[in-house]
Amino acid sequence: MKEIILCKYGEIALKGTNRGHFENLLKRELQRRVSPFGRYKIYYIQSTVYIEPLEEDCDIAGAYEAAKNTFGVSAVSRAIEAPKDMDKILDIIKTSFMPYLDGARTFKVESKRSDKSFPYQSPEISAEAGGAILDASGGRLKVDVHHPDVCVRVEIRDLAAYICAGQERAVGGMPIGSNGKGLLLLSGGIDSPVAGYMMAKRGVSVEAMHFESFPYTSERAKQKVLSLAQKLAAYAGEIKVHVISVTKIQEELRDHCDEDYFTLLLRRFMMRLSERTAEKFYCDALITGESIGQVASQTMKAILTTDAVVSRPVFRPVIGMDKEDIVQIARKIDTFETSILPYEDCCTVFTPAHPRTQPELSKVEAEEARIDVKALEDEAFATLETIVVRP
């Protein structure tokens, strides 16, 4: 018996002449993700990706889970390959396929014959296969054409016939690398890893930017950010994490500027430094985990003053989401437990008691005139170090 994995892809199917490019990206990504589970051949036929094991001891269940979580795949199923011969198909259903229906009480069969030279039409194939399943189940299973527990599919394709028990929804999105590269401002919090995940899901390659404030923030805090990046890398692939120290900037702000503007001024430095990093590493957009109104620095006016210092687009995929909804995704992608570890972040060092929620740009600029912005920025940028995090 030969088992294979079939993947359907979503939006790629709508791409016109570029489709080959998207398919290649998806194939490369699938290859990377299933490789820990054995050697597989991956190919496309008729808008379906076939993942075929090349060795006896491949871990098909592992590869199936990996494929299900690969951006660009919209549905997955495990299938048994059969010769294009009705008797043999029925035989395989009775002998090898029945364990796929364990736990089900009702089923229906849907068939598709893309190889029109096969001498049975789809309704006949379904009827025969359904009869074989009923016989083999010894009365345990019943047919329910409206709400079956499992929908069995028999597909007669060019290469062979395939028998699968249902298909599962996969993660969806677009293949990594198909939509440019963005620089994710990654704090140790809940929101930014989720923001990175959402952009990666749309096919954006992600690099990360983290600001530390050593010795006010600890080595543990930095390690936490690196573990978050690693969790993200499970979906997005290898991530370069760029780290810049903003300690000196924070001390200057503390010593010379109005405390109420402190966070905002720091955020403007973060944006400028991110843009420089983005330029150096060819990232065309910045990505943050801001959600409108969540804290003082995320009001519309505050965002207006921080965006004023950069020219790249700033993507904020969680801008319209409630915390609860963000947490739900954080749990799903397994970053939540790490995010809530109680280590300090540079934003929590010297936090003002009364941060401005409705800052005026002119006042912010006047505060900045008290310090040497360019020199501080250059000095901070010189501390940039890059750590590569692999899944």
Binding residues for ligand ATP, rule: CB under 6 A, are 185-187, 189-192, 209-211, 288-290, 295, 297-298, 345-347
Please state, as a whole number, how many other Cβ atoms lie within 10 Å of the Cβ of residue 104.
17
Give the nearer residue to Mg ion in terms of CB position, either 179 or 192. 192
Comparing CB distances to ligand ATP, the nearer of 25 and 199 is: 199
What distance in Å separates the CA atoms of residue 54 and residue 159, rounded to the nearest whole number?
A: 16
Scanning 3-11, 70-78, 183-191, 259-267 for contacts with Mg ion by CB under 5 A, the matching segment is: 183-191
Minimal distance in Å, beta carbon 352 to ligand ATP? 13
Residue 80 or 246 having the CB closest to ligand ATP: 246
Report, in Å, the least distance between residue 185 CB and ligand ATP: 3
Residue 191 or residue 212: which is nearer to Mg ion going by CB? 191
When asked if residue 191 is in the footprint of Mg ion (CB under 5 A), the reply is yes
**Short-list 9, 89, 17, CA closest to 42:** 9
Structure tokens at 220: 């543990």
Closest contact distance (angstroms) between CB of 192 and Mg ion is 7
Nearer to ligand ATP, 247 or 297 (CB): 297
Q: How far is the CB of 208 from ligand ATP (least distance, A)?
A: 8
Minimum Å gap between C-beta 382 and ligand ATP is 17
| 9 contacts: CB under 8 Å, gap ≥ 6 | 23, 26, 47, 49, 72, 73, 74
Angle, helices 191-201 vs 219-236, to 10°: value is 20
Closest distance between ligand ATP and the C-beta of residue 220, in Å? 14
Query: Hey, is 330 helix, strand or coil?
Result: helix
Q: Strand, coil or helix: what is 1? A: coil
Q: Which is nearer to ligand ATP, 155 or 191 (CB)?
A: 191
* Chain position carrying tokens 């080595």: 219
Among ligand ATP, Mg ion, none, the one that 297 touches (CB under a kind-dependent 5 to 8 A) is ligand ATP
- Based on the shown chain and the rule CB under 5 A, indicate whether residue 252 belongs to the binding site for Mg ion: no
Shortest CB 295 distance to Mg ion, Å:
7
Q: Which residue is nearest to ligand ATP (CB)?
A: 189
Stretch that binds Mg ion, among 61-69, 121-129, 141-149, 187-195 (CB under 5 A): 187-195
CA 350 from centroid of its chain's CA atoms: 34
Cα four-point dihedral sign 188, 175, 115, 145: positive
Strands (E), the chain: 2-9, 40-45, 48-53, 73-82, 106-113, 142-143, 150-156, 161-165, 168-172, 181-185, 205-212, 239-245, 285-287, 314-315, 385-389
The residue with tokens 């780290």 is: 243
209 touches, from ligand ATP, Mg ion, none (C-beta below 5 to 8 Å by class)? ligand ATP
Task: Give the interface with Mg ion as residue ranges (CB under 5 A).
Answer: 191
